Amino acid sequence: MSELSCMIFKSTALVLSIAVAGCAGDNDYRDHDSPPVMTAVARCDQLAQSAFKDTNFKIVSHNSAGKFTAPDGKEFSATPAFCRVAATLKPTADSNIDIEVWLPSNDWNGRYIGLGNGGFAGSIDYVSLIAGIKRGYAVAHTDMGTARADAGGGAISLAGHPEKIIDWGHRSTHLMTLIAKDLVGQYYSKSNYKSYFMGCSTGGGQGIHEAQRYPSDYDGILVGAPANNRVATHTSLMWSGAAPRVTPEAGLPFDKILLLHKSVVAACDPSDGVVDGIISRPELCDFNPNILQCVGGDDGACLSASQTDTVRRLYQGPINKNTGESIFAGQAKGSELGWLVFTYPIPPSGQVLYDDLFYWVFGPSFSWRNFDYGGDFVAAQNVLSSNVDATSPDLASFKNLGGKIILYQGLADQLIPPGQVVRYLDAVSKGTGQVSDFMRLFNVPGMTHCAGGSAPNIFGQNLDISSIPGNPEVDILSALERWVESGVAPEKVLASQYTDNDLSKGNVVRTRPLCVYPKIARYTGHGDTNSAESFTCENPS
């Protein structure tokens, strides 16, 4: 075709929203870095013709810039234009996995990101989907296949549905990823782009599952407080919920928790060179709760013998009574204020925190009060671990493909104690080799589960609260992208704390560098203790 003809046909194509073959630069446009010459609406409509096994498209629609109303009626303003794909996946007769894939119509940053979940999942996170497209990502999320099962009776209703448990364990995340990546390639006519996954807690476990089971799914994975050792995690939560209920006298009212926490901070705080209420190395603190045990009567400023025993059990963590081995890391020094989740009044259901998982094994008569931390723990592993645990130390396939993992962990996390993440990192070091080449951990002093706490804890770990997207010094996701795309491994990330720990107030009151484990941020001895510039990353002494 002549150059003049191409010019004419291309002008027509722009109007008719069709691609023109045979002109220079237009051949096989699906392999080009640029999208085809089609309107955003046409490109979105075209995705409806896609066919995926066991998949039913419910929505394929172009959403114009402006307001978006989520299925629950919540409205989001200033939303960029995007193509929305909602589908239900049925890999088995008992599966119902909902996914959504959102594709920015303009200003795509050339990356796809999969989002993780929390708890037993059961819903789509529209807040994070919105945040993702606002940052230019093609983004996807899944309810993990538990929404319909969770509608009545909570996660206990998954008992007797082994396929749904597999969906929740790992299958839903992988299938979401395969479909999302295919749709991204179609919509943008580009096959060469980077894929990332980010999630905390259950989402962190999803990330580890992906690296272990499906190493080619993602180029980079951002993992927070991973619940990858799932059976042991729930055993730990049950242990912690049972500890203050061994006897009526074993309970820890808030005033006693506060007394304990203040004593722990006083003993553990100075390890980083400055007394500022932040504990940077809880594992090195030798605080003994016995110093608080009442000598005479309980005057409110001491712990009873039963309460002291409760504290010891929480710091110890669950022990396999048959082998004497630790099942899961115990609570860290400094996490005490978070123990309120273990001391609330027992609800009418009689459950403690997240013991639902054991009903899947032992049936409706299960009670945490009768759990055997030897035989019952092993029985639960035998039934569930192959599908819900991601504990293999062998990440060689992911590493050899060039994959990178950044982990972050709150040192005051009461649900996933920081010692557990270190255990896994050490295991990977032995099972895979030099971990710093592809896997790095950033501990966050003072941070509770995934976020929060009275210390600098904002460092871009969530799409909707990222400090400065695109700056690897203050946005841990951007740090991961630079590592994957430019080979620059992160050494530190800046964390910020806001007035009243409220990001919406916009006033930063304290900053602190987060250092690659095992280094910690140590005060230089001069300068403002509220400024990150007064700290250096050093190996622990």
- Cβ atoms of residues 35 and 43 within 8 Å: yes
What is the per-residue pLDDT for 212?
Answer: 98
How many angstroms from the chain centroid is the CA of residue 322? 33
Pairing of strands 439-444, 111-115: unpaired
Return the bridge partners of 232, or none: none
Q: Note every long-range contact of 431-437, with CB atoms under 8 Å and residues 24 or more positions apart, other chains counting.
A: 431/392, 431/393, 431/394, 431/395, 432/393, 432/394, 432/395, 432/396, 432/399, 433/396, 433/399, 436/489, 436/516, 437/399
What is the per-residue pLDDT for 18?
Answer: 31
What is the per-residue pLDDT for 149?
Answer: 59
Segments making up each domain of the chain, as ranges: 1-38, 40-229+389-495+512-518, 234-387
- Respond yes or no: is residue 33 known to be catalytic: no
Please tell me which residue in 125, 276, 355, 413 is annotated as part of the active site.
413
- Respond yes or no: is residue 449 known to be catalytic: yes
- Residue linked to tokens 């995340």: 173
Half-sphere exposure of 80 (CA within 13 A, CB side): 19
DSSP helix/strand/coil, 485 = helix
3-state secondary structure 270-291: HHHCCCCCCCCCHHHCCCCHHH
CB under 8 Å to 528, separation ≥6 — which residues?
A: 534
Amino acid at 156: I
Please tell me which residue in 170, 174, 209, 449 is annotated as part of the active site.
449
What is the per-residue pLDDT for 248?
Answer: 87
Q: Give the span between the Cα atoms of 291 and 118, in whole angstroms.
A: 38
Tokens describing residue 248: 């009526």
Q: Give the span between the Cα atoms of 476 and 196, in whole angstroms.
A: 12
Tokens describing residue 147: 């929404």
Pairing of strands 508-515, 492-498: antiparallel
Burial per residue of 269-305, b for 16 or more beta-carbon CB atoms within 10 angstroms, e otherwise: bebbbbebebbbbbbebebebeebeeeeeeeeebbbe
- Cβ atoms of residues 47 and 86 within 8 Å: no
DSSP-derived secondary structure for 101-142: EEEESS---SEEEEE---TT--S--HHHHHHHHHTT-EEEEE
pLDDT by residue for the chain (541 residues), tens only, comes to 333 333 323 333 333 333 333 333 333 323 445 544 689 999 999 999 999 999 999 999 999 999 999 998 999 999 999 999 999 999 999 999 999 999 999 999 999 999 999 999 999 999 999 999 999 999 999 999 998 655 455 688 899 999 999 999 999 999 999 999 999 999 999 999 999 999 999 999 999 999 999 999 999 999 999 999 999 999 999 999 999 998 889 999 999 999 999 999 999 998 888 899 999 999 889 899 999 999 988 888 999 999 999 999 999 999 999 999 999 999 999 999 999 999 877 776 777 878 999 999 999 899 999 999 999 999 999 999 999 999 999 999 999 999 999 999 999 999 999 999 999 999 999 999 889 999 999 999 999 999 999 899 999 999 887 667 889 999 999 999 999 999 999 999 999 999 887 777 778 999 999 999 999 999 999 999 999 999 999 998 7
Q: Give the span between the Cα atoms of 412 and 453, in whole angstroms.
A: 8
- Cβ atoms of residues 92 and 163 within 8 Å: yes
Amino acid at 282: P
What is the CATH superfamily name and number for domain 40-229+389-495+512-518?
Answer: Alpha/Beta hydrolase fold, catalytic domain (3.40.50.1820)
Q: Give the span between the Cα atoms of 289 and 266, in whole angstroms.
A: 13
CA Rg value for the chain: 25
Q: Give the span between the Cα atoms of 251 and 344, in whole angstroms.
A: 10
What is the per-residue pLDDT for 500?
Answer: 81
What is the per-residue pLDDT for 37?
Answer: 64
- Cβ atoms of residues 462 and 476 within 8 Å: no
Residue 329: how many CB atoms within 10 A of its CB? Answer: 23
- Respond yes or no: is residue 413 known to be catalytic: yes
Q: Give the span between the Cα atoms of 501 and 481, in whole angstroms.
A: 27
H or E segment at 88?
strand 82-89
Please tell me which residue in 189, 195, 201, 335 is annotated as part of the active site.
201
Amino acid at 331: Q
